[in-house]
Chain A
């Protein structure tokens, strides 16, 4: 039974960014010594709520009480002073510094001469970690330790600064199973010492294992808070996804996928392995087919695209294009085979300072412009491409950096149109774009598909895949967990598969 006065009590929290509501009237409370799970789809408002608690969103409305007293969290400093600490998904520890230095960052103990008291710092660091049953050499640099230790150090840092409420944002998404179990043990230890934990995760199994209560958010509103013993995965996913099947917009939430294509196989990947990203991944894509890869951030499906395109090395595996084995060591090799990548981060795919024409011709300079390059020739080559992709403005002399995100992406795609496209790899191709730009990009992709290209679309948005993919593979922690084809698939099915554990045989 919940305690009558919770440690942290948020009442009717609301947040709006530029008039768009991100959170509406959310009530949320955490008891002392409780592990409280927070779940919801992308954009449900989990991270916004946590940012409010971390003091990063000072413009929130509503009231927050800590230990019965009203507080106002208008800066990160204030949040820390009240004993609320956040452990971010992207770790903020400094790898080059020692574990002890990380623990005492900005509050190093001083000697009476004012210089850092290294001995005391190391001793106290050792003690602080020993209390959490972590036995490591605190004078070694943080980067030498595995992720789980780094996360634990981060937690210890929060505790050492006097935190009573710890927020853990997706701590297990990049951990192996034994590592995750170790983290859960630590969370139980903390709980028994009266520390409250808020646990945000896509991995519902983890949430149900470790949490006392679970709160489900959807579209910025709280749906329910309940004892985790009374919930199960299916029920939670149904709540998260909700009855939004008939929701507005063109995005599908359930769709009947096609059976596997009868066309010849264009790309076949066998036992593809990259250390720390994915292991033993095998799949095939047919001509004119769009294969969707679904997984949460860090599942490995995005790195997979980079390795196929030759941008990152792999340790093992084979690749066959049109049934003949190929070796791809550099991006240039892949481009020659017609295997091309449209990356998610346009900061890494567009040369912003160079003209649009130069960006368009970059990949196929020899075949499109020839060996004597002039601006005039380049403009003539890139002009039809710009018109084909519908770039606005279609001015090849303008610096590419002056285009909007959607138009920059058209330039990235357009660059590949000057050569053969046999396999088109798309990594979150429409991230951050409006509906209009999104449709235009995907229209271009569909055109290539009709011409026989095999498309692989990796995304963390299920709607995107349900709308555009013919067949879907789900990834979890570097492995394929399920394949969907030829039957009805819902958003919930995908999420189920993506958070499923594959027991490793090691």
Chain B
């Protein structure tokens, strides 16, 4: 395929796409947050921090990938956290059955087939949950907001009933994925979970950018009626996106259970809101049609960098090292906002998120 054979094509691609600040805002806020923590945290730029960010972002990235599909077609899935929990619980409960690994998961060795079964069933189940949410959203004409809110409670209830609020063990392979990694040079450690997340995102990216289904997702979100009038089965697109979201939620939930080496009901409580924050922070529109997996990566990295940075920040040391008058220093070191800084971390996380999102929103508004 030569350029000469297609002069028209060459002319067209020579026209640059209009570039606007709003397109780069997510990247800039990531850089800004990294910059601020470089100043505030000792040795922030280290392989240790990078490994920590990768480790912490894997589950979030997997869940946010499915959520990106849902947001792209202008819907939302509020059940991701609890669907993740339910699939981990189903996995744990099955694993402790006598036909699998038995009580505490250690009674006897399980065959590879059993392990595949114990991991596969919850994934299929979660996909079905998403599919049901999608079907009901389409057939009832209600917003997915309401349907998935109900689905959230249904899955939470099922998880409670299955586990009877007890702790369960998970297959060793999940523990490995959740905790092991490959040590590279200079203390850099690539967690297996991060590699899994990368694979999930890569597949999701290829589907979104290079297949018909991916294109239909964008067009359905951009203008559902126009897509429908062009012959796109927009109802099926929405149902499939919600099913995909269930699928990734299950993978995320299983990896998270592996990371924590067990399943219990207190897991994944923040997962939904964190994942939504990541997707939106990356610049994907809540109103559909605009966004990408690449943006979600940026969003996830921004969010985890912020979280890790806040955790690494040592306020007392910062005050001691600062060139402030000694009187102020001793006074501040006694103050409650320093001694109980741990309790303030969610507050700071919220404030920074809010700032970033409001600035993005205003930039997008200015472009239009």
- Does B116 touch A at the CB level, under 8 Å? no
Tally of contacts, chain A with chain B, CB under 8 A: 95
Question: Does B113 count as interface, using CB distance less than 8 angstroms?
Answer: no
A364 to B, closest residue via Cβ: B231
Q: Are B210 and A373 in contact (CB under 8 A)?
A: yes
Give complex CA distance A205, B172 in Å.
Answer: 84
Question: Which residues of the partner chain B approach A398 to less than 8 Å between Cβ atoms?
Answer: 15
Complex Cα spacing A379 to B6, Å:
10
Stretch binding the partner chain, chosen from A30-38, A247-255, A351-359: A351-359
CB of A344, distance to nearest CB on chain B (Å)? 11
Give the residue among B9, B223, B289 with the most A Cβ atoms within 10 A: B223
How far apart sit A372 and B214, CA to CA, in the bound complex (Å)? 11
B8 A353 Cβ-Cβ under 8 A = no
Interface flag for A383 (CB, 8 Å): yes
Question: Beyond A351-B289, A379-B9, is A332–B231 a contact (Cβ under 8 Å)?
Answer: yes
Q: Which residues in A have their C-beta under 8 angstroms from that of B214?
A: 373
A365 CA to B217 CA, complexed, in Å = 13
B219 in the interface (beta carbon within 8 A):
yes
Q: Are A397 and B12 in contact (CB under 8 A)?
A: yes
Contact, CB under 8 Å: A373 / B215: yes
Q: A354-B218, A362-B215 given as contacts; is B12 within 8 A of A379 (CB)?
A: yes
CB of B13 within 8 Å of the partner chain: yes
A485 at the interface (CB under 8 A from B): no
Q: Which positions 347-392 of chain A face chain B at CB distance < 8 Å?
A: 347-354, 358, 361-363, 365-366, 371-374, 376, 379-380, 383-384, 387
Distance A362 CA – B217 CA, assembled complex (angstroms): 11
Query: Does A175 lie at the interface of the complex (its beta carbon under 8 Å from any beta carbon of B)?
Result: no
The distance from the CB of A190 to the nearest CB of chain B, in whole angstroms, is 39
Would you call A395 an interface residue if the criterion is a C-beta within 8 Å of the partner chain's C-beta atoms? yes
Q: Is B322 an interface residue (CB 8 A)?
A: no
A341 contacts chain B at the CB level, 8 A cutoff: yes
Q: How far is the CB of B135 from chain A (nearest CB, A)?
A: 16
Interface flag for A334 (CB, 8 Å)? yes
Q: Which residues of the partner chain A approach B225 to less than 8 Å between Cβ atoms? A: 348-349
Minimum CB–CB distance from B330 to chain A (whole Å) comes to 57
Name the interface residues of B220-238: CB closer than 8 Å to any CB of A: 222-223, 225-233
A295 CB within 8 Å of chain B:
no
A363 pairs with B289, CB closer than 8 A: no
- A362, A366, A398, A415, most chain B CB atoms within 10 A: A362
CA distance A352 to B226 in the complex (A): 10
B362 at the interface (CB under 8 A from A): no
A95 to B: closest C-beta gap in Å: 16
The contact of B231 among A335, A394, A395, by CB within 8 Å, is A335
Q: A354-B218, A363-B231, A397-B15 are in contact. Are A373 and B211 (CB under 8 A)?
A: yes
| A371 in contact with B211 given A331-B230, A358-B218, A395-B15 (CB within 8 Å) | yes
A180 to chain B: closest CB distance in Å? 32
Interface of B is mostly: helix
Judged by a CB distance under 8 angstroms, whether A284 is at the interface is: no
How close is A261's CB to chain B, nearest CB, in angstroms?
Answer: 28
Q: Which residues from chain B contact A363 at a C-beta distance below 8 Å?
A: 230-231
Determine whether the beta carbon of A373 is less than 8 Å from that of B209. yes
Question: Is B365 engaged at the interface, CB distance under 8 Å to the other chain?
Answer: no
Q: What residues of A have a CB within 8 angstroms of the CB of B17 in the complex?
A: 397
Interfacial chain A residues near B233, Cβ < 8 Å = 330, 332
> CB of A343 within 8 A of chain B?
yes
Is B23's CB within 8 Å of the partner chain A? no
A383 with B228: CB separation less than 8 A: no
Assess whether B289 is in contact with A354, with CB atoms less than 8 Å apart. yes
Bound-state Cα–Cα, A351 to B211, Å:
18
- Measured between alpha carbons, how far is A99 from B219 in the docked complex, in Å? 40
Task: Please pick, from A348, A361, A372, A384, the residue contacting B226 in the complex, using a CB distance under 8 A.
Answer: A348
Does B366 have its Cβ within 8 Å of any Cβ on chain A? no
CB-defined contacts of B222 to chain A, threshold 8 Å = 351-354
- The reply to whether the CB of B290 lies closer than 8 angstroms to some CB of chain A is yes
Q: How far is the CA of A383 from the CA of B222 in the complex (A)?
A: 22
B13 touches A379 (CB 8 A): yes
- Check if A374 sits within 8 Å of B229, measured CB to CB: no
**Distance in Å from the Cβ of A348 to the closest Cβ of chain B?**
4
Q: Which of B8, B9, B15, B228 contacts A311 (CB 8 A)?
A: B228
With an 8 A cutoff between CB atoms, is A76 at the interface?
no
- Give the CA-CA distance A343 to B13 in the complex, in Å: 30
Query: In the complex, how many angstroms separate the beta carbon of B361 from the nearest chain A beta carbon?
Result: 16
**Is the pair B15, A365 in contact by a Cβ cutoff of 8 Å?**
no
In the bound complex, what is the Cα–Cα distance between A265 and B266 (angstroms)?
Answer: 68
B230 A353 Cβ-Cβ under 8 A: no
Docked Cα-Cα span, A387 to B11, in Å, equals: 13
A348 touches B289 (CB 8 A): no
Please tell me if the beta carbons of A331 and B229 are within 8 angstroms of each other in the complex: yes
The answer to whether B8 and A373 have CB atoms under 8 Å apart is no
Task: Tell me if A396 and B212 are in contact (CB < 8 A).
Answer: no
A343–B228 alpha-carbon span in the complex (Å): 12
Distance from B285 Cβ to chain A, minimum over Cβ atoms (Å): 9
Sampled A-B contacts (8; CB under 8 Å)? A343-B229, A348-B229, A351-B289, A353-B222, A354-B219, A373-B212, A373-B215, A415-B230
The 10 closest A-B pairs by CB, nearest first: A335-B231, A351-B222, A332-B231, A351-B223, A363-B230, A348-B225, A331-B231, A362-B230, A383-B8, A353-B222
5 extra interface residue pairs, beta carbon distance < 8 Å, beyond A348-B229, A373-B215, A394-B8? A341-B229, A348-B225, A350-B226, A354-B289, A362-B232
